[in-house]
Amino acid sequence: MIISINPYNNKRIKKYKELTPGKVKSKIENAHTAFLNWKETSFEHRAKLMKKAAEILRNNSEEYAHLMTAEMGKLLRSGKAEAEKCGWVCDYYAENAEKFLAPEEIKTDMSKSFVTFNPLGVVLAVMPWNFPFWQVFRFAAPALMAGNVGILKHASNVPGCALAIEDVFLQAGFPKDVFQTLLIGSRQVDAVIEHPHVKAVTLTGSTPAGRAVARKSGEMIKKCVLELGGSDPYIILEDADIEMAAEKCVISKLINSGQSCIAAKRFIVVDAVREEFERLLLEKMENQVIGDPFSPDTTIGPMARTNLRDELHQQVIQSINKGAKCLLGGYIPQIEGAFYPATILTNVEEGMPAYDEELFGPVAAIIPAKDENEAIEIANDTIFGLGAAVFTSNIEKGKNIAANLLDAGCCFVNDFVKSDPRLPFGGIKESGFGRELSHYGIKEFVNIKTVCVK
């Protein structure tokens, strides 16, 4: 069984019956049949339906936000913004897919040489709970506009969101089986990847989950895109606007109550401004309100599950035991729900979980650096490489650090890392490979075909 539980009060929302292997196989075969027709449709036709999906998302953003808040504890206003952002990505690909996938002529010694971009077929998406709508739509909008069809294995704690997303596409007029949700557990994923009609896989999730999917995809010689964890470094240099930097760092740290792959994780502060930065960060983190995610006054809702909260707390305690100093928080509140308070650890060093691991929650780790060079060295001293940011008043220096010196897929100067349909998104090292969004993302799941005519 698949059970959704409200992390605010630990009450069961609904129980769902998991699909049998036979039913899963049937759904994949239906998806392939749908693909044979869908790939022949025009970009104009697909765009009309995708625009309708965007309209549905915006018109029903409040309803979808309530669903997200109930199933994984997202702040209600954040859920509404997420649904609206999904509408944006649908509009973006409806308006640009045909241009992105137009045949590209290349001059050679042949009479005509060109490249076409043809859909692959059924694409499996294995998606996480933290942005239960956005993670799915940033895959589905480009995949469907390219002529592929999608099947979704969503996180088991957000089945209601998964079914609601399927319904968005049906309401918008997409043919039955062009996008389907598979209510299955992780044990059935390998069998789905093995099915001959499944041509590619995309996963957003943990590094262990990414390894498992990459291993199976590699065994079956199928294309995969992985967007995994991050331990995003935010460098605060001596010439930075410290007030602005602290404000941006808090916003980033507490996105989705800290449960974001691109949330700020490690604050690397040069010694000359560390005391001021710590003071400002403490002031801003102390003002956060923990509580009911449906309340407009709440700034930190519950974490998605109590086991995730408990794992985060162990990382904090182990870091403290190894010498980190706790300036704020660092305890499990004696209230119902999967809550963890805004927490600040300082004097964080190599060998501590707060330095070496991803802290997936409202915990800020401050790492001292004697100067700019050491700060950059510390920022790159991680197995991850998803996002990074640098704060400095010298814009040219900031651009150079971001463009040439930081090992990450998304680097920002004087702002926090965020995704945008117009920009490629993804990481390096153990943060995964491949790109989503922009024109790069839509080309991940197409056959880039060379055609030459003598």
The pLDDT value given to residue 146: 98
CA within 13 Å, CB half, 419: 28
Residues 6+ apart with CB under 8 A from 212: 189
CA within 13 Å, CB half, 111: 2
C-alpha gyration radius of the chain: 23
Residues 6+ apart with CB under 8 A from 367: 266, 267, 268, 269, 348, 349, 355, 378
| Alpha-carbon distances, residue 390 vs 304, 364, 411 (angstroms) | 30, 16, 8
Contact between 301 and 75 (Cβ < 8 Å): yes
Identify any residues that bridge with 391 across adjacent strands, giving them in sequence order. 236
Determine the angle formed by the axes of helices 134-145 and 159-171, rounding to 10 degrees. 30
Residue 454: is it exposed, middle or buried by C-beta count within 10 angstroms (0-12/13-18/19+)?
exposed
Residue 28: is it exposed, middle or buried by C-beta count within 10 angstroms (0-12/13-18/19+)?
buried
Place of tokens 């952002």: 85
Amino acid at 140: A
Token couple for 303: 């974490």
Token couple for 81: 């913004």
State the Cα–Cα distance between residues 445 and 100, nearest whole angstrom: 13
DSSP state letters, 11-54: EEEEEEPPPPHHHHHHHHHHHHHHHHHHTTS-HHHHHHHHHHHH
Give the architecture (CATH level 2) of 233-413: 3-Layer(aba) Sandwich (3.40)
pLDDT one-digit tens code per residue, 20-54: 999 999 999 999 999 999 999 999 999 999 999 99
State the Cα–Cα distance between residues 169 and 171, nearest whole angstrom: 5
Phi then psi for 126, rounded to 5 degrees?
A: -110, 110
Q: Give the residue from 340, 365, 371, 362 showing the smallest Cα distance to 351.
A: 365
Residue 414: is it exposed, middle or buried by C-beta count within 10 angstroms (0-12/13-18/19+)?
middle
State the Cα–Cα distance between residues 65 and 88, nearest whole angstrom: 16
| Alpha-carbon distances, residue 345 vs 30, 266, 268, 416 (angstroms) | 52, 10, 12, 20
Residue 437: is it exposed, middle or buried by C-beta count within 10 angstroms (0-12/13-18/19+)?
buried
Q: Which are the catalytic amino acids? A: 227, 261
Structural fold of domain 2-228+428-453: Aldehyde Dehydrogenase; Chain A, domain 1 (3.40.605)
CB atoms within 10 A of CB 453: 8
Give the start-to-end residue ranges of the domains of the chain.
2-228+428-453, 233-413
Residues 6+ apart with CB under 8 A from 108: 452
For residue 401, the 8-state DSSP code is I
Residues 6+ apart with CB under 8 A from 296: 76, 77
The pLDDT value given to residue 268: 98
Distance from the Cα of residue 420 to its chain's centroid? 12
State the Cα–Cα distance between residues 352 and 369, nearest whole angstrom: 16
State the Cα–Cα distance between residues 284 and 239, nearest whole angstrom: 21
Beta strands in 228-324 (DSSP E): 233-236, 266-270
State the Cα–Cα distance between residues 427 and 131, nearest whole angstrom: 18
pLDDT in tens, the chain (454 residues): 999 999 999 999 999 999 999 999 999 999 999 999 999 999 999 999 999 999 999 999 999 999 999 999 999 999 999 999 999 999 999 999 999 999 999 999 999 999 999 999 999 999 999 999 999 999 999 999 999 999 999 999 999 999 999 999 999 999 999 999 999 999 999 999 999 999 999 999 999 999 999 999 999 999 999 999 999 999 999 999 999 999 999 999 999 999 999 999 999 999 999 999 999 999 999 999 999 999 999 999 999 999 999 999 999 999 999 999 999 999 999 999 999 999 999 999 999 999 999 999 999 999 999 999 999 999 999 999 999 999 999 999 999 999 999 999 999 999 999 999 999 999 999 999 999 999 999 999 999 999 999 9
State the Cα–Cα distance between residues 439 and 101, nearest whole angstrom: 8
Token couple for 399: 């651009």
Strand pairing report for 233-236 and 387-391: parallel
